Amino acid sequence: MATSTPRSPARTSEPLVPGVAADGTLPLPWLAAPLQAAHRLQRSHALLLQGAAGVGHLEFALLLAQTQLCESPRTLDDGRTPLACGRCASCHLVATRVHPDLLLLLPEAWRVRLGWLGEDEGRLAKGEAKPSKDLKVDQVRQGIAWTQQTSGRGRGKCLVLHPADALNTPAANALLKTLEEPPAGQRLILTTTDAEQLLPTVRSRCQKLVLPLPAPHDARAWLEARGLAQAEALLAATGGSPLEALVWAEEGLDGTLLAALPQQLARGDGSALAGRALPRVLDLLLKFAHDAAARAVGGAPRFFADANWPAGAPALPALLDWQRTLMRTARHDEHPWNAPLLLESLVEQGAACWPRGPARAGAARGGPAGRASLHSGA
């Protein structure tokens, strides 16, 4: 089945998804409120969990599944909302990902990220094969066949698809009938960071449940308790997402680097982004462009503190052009780009939006696009 032999997670801060601890502690403290909301939707057989990246979709989906399957549930502090006990045999089977009534469908890329690969997936584990980002039709068909088998432990069954945005069209279509009429006792839980990416026919068959980001103060406290310094800058740059902030910190992005970034990018210096994965680079550039545009029209920046910006307003039409270029590039971030040249070209175009100031790194060398191809191997 899709969840396979546990291995140690690839990164220490990845969601470890152990579920509720034996003392009743939630995997992430801000999941109590949506758990109460989920309880009110307990009769729905298909739930769509929506929330910003890094809010804890997978943790929450598994928390719901664990609670449904728990043989001795307790309640939250409100005395009403059921919560898995974290101690019974069923909870133990969920925590070790071998519960017969829980099936988790993940794209290969997610299983690589979590270190959850089967014995027969050595090439993926060694990085010799490129993991798919899709939830494929074969996985969905396997999942549907699984839903038709009887519950092993008699408390219903739970099929989790994470993230549902990764369902390709054939896979989404294969799922529709089961979403509409799942076998008795069967619950489907889908997650998404962007419900608009889902087929309307998938969306309309699910009850929606929004996973809110924690309040900034709570998010900062949670990160600081995990030893993260300069949590505020990371939280701002990730849009308030604590799990994302942890991942960023592990990639070497810290408050000092983020504070210097607006000045550097405005003068055409992209060195702080060199060598980073393209999706991360594009995310940072898009956030920089967003804030620059907000400031250009007198608004407040959202991702980079106002005090860290250079004086002088960028030219708005050029900035909007640059944003479009960034978005276009982001849609093709799996294209085999020549990453250093692409970074230089994008940063150069961004810096050109600012009034002429001190000499820019790229401009001094005549710009990259004319000298070599942006595509690797060309």
Q: Which residues bind Zn ion (CB under 5 A)?
A: 70, 84-85, 88, 91
Q: 104 phi and psi, to 5 degrees?
A: -115, 120
CB of 51 to Zn ion, least distance (A): 25
Q: What is the smallest separation between the CB atom of 26 and Zn ion, expressed in angstroms? A: 14
Based on CB atoms, which residue is closest to Zn ion, 28 or 84? 84
For residue 88, give every residue at least 6 positions away whose Cβ sits within 8 Å of its Cβ, in sequence order, or none: 70, 71, 72
Which of residues 24 and 115 has its CB atom nearest to Zn ion in the complex? 24
Judged by beta carbon, residue 38 or residue 171, the one nearer Zn ion is 38
Q: How far is the CB of 70 from Zn ion (least distance, A)?
A: 3
Residue 82 CB burial class (10 angstroms; 0-12, 13-18, ≥19): middle
- Whichever of 85 and 284 has its CB closer to Zn ion, that residue is 85
- Give the phi and the psi of residue 38 in degrees, each rounded to 5: -65, -35
CB of 91 to Zn ion, least distance (A): 3
Q: In terms of DSSP H, where are the helices of the chain?
A: 32-40, 57-69, 89-95, 108-114, 122-125, 137-147, 169-180, 200-203, 216-225, 231-237, 242-250, 255-266, 278-296, 316-331, 339-351
Q: Minimal CA–CA distance to 56: which of 22, 14, 6? A: 14
Residue 92 beta carbon to Zn ion: minimum distance, rounded to whole angstroms:
8
The nearer residue to Zn ion, 71 or 333, going by C-beta atoms, is 71
Gap between the Cα atoms of 325 and 129, Å rounded: 30
List phi, psi (to 5°) of 106.
-130, 145
What is the CA angle 371-272-265, rounded to 5?
Answer: 70
Please name the residue that has the structure tokens 């974290």.
Answer: 86
Q: What is the 3-state secondary structure (H, E, C) of 52-79?
A: CCCCCHHHHHHHHHHHHHCCCCEECCCC
CB of 199 to Zn ion, least distance (A): 35
Angle formed by the axes of helices 216-225 and 242-250, nearest 10°: 40
Are 52 and 213 contacting, i.e. CB atoms less than 8 angstroms apart? Answer: yes
N-to-C CA span, the chain? 41
Which residue's CB is nearer to Zn ion, number 91 or number 135? 91
Nearer to Zn ion, 67 or 139 (CB): 67
Question: Is 301 within 8 Å of 294 (Cβ atoms)?
Answer: yes
Distance, CA of 101 to CA of 121 (rounded, Å): 24
Nearer to Zn ion, 24 or 118 (CB): 24
Least distance from Zn ion to the Cβ atom of residue 75, Å = 12
Q: What is the dihedral of CA 252, 255, 257, 261, to 10 degrees?
A: 130
Least CB distance to Zn ion at residue 77 (A): 18
Tell me which amino acid residue 151 is.
S
Q: Based on CB atoms, which residue is closest to Zn ion, 67 or 241?
A: 67
Q: Smaller CB distance to Zn ion: residue 76 or 330?
A: 76
Amino acid at 214: P
CB of 65 to Zn ion, least distance (A): 11
Least distance CB 149 / Zn ion (angstroms): 22
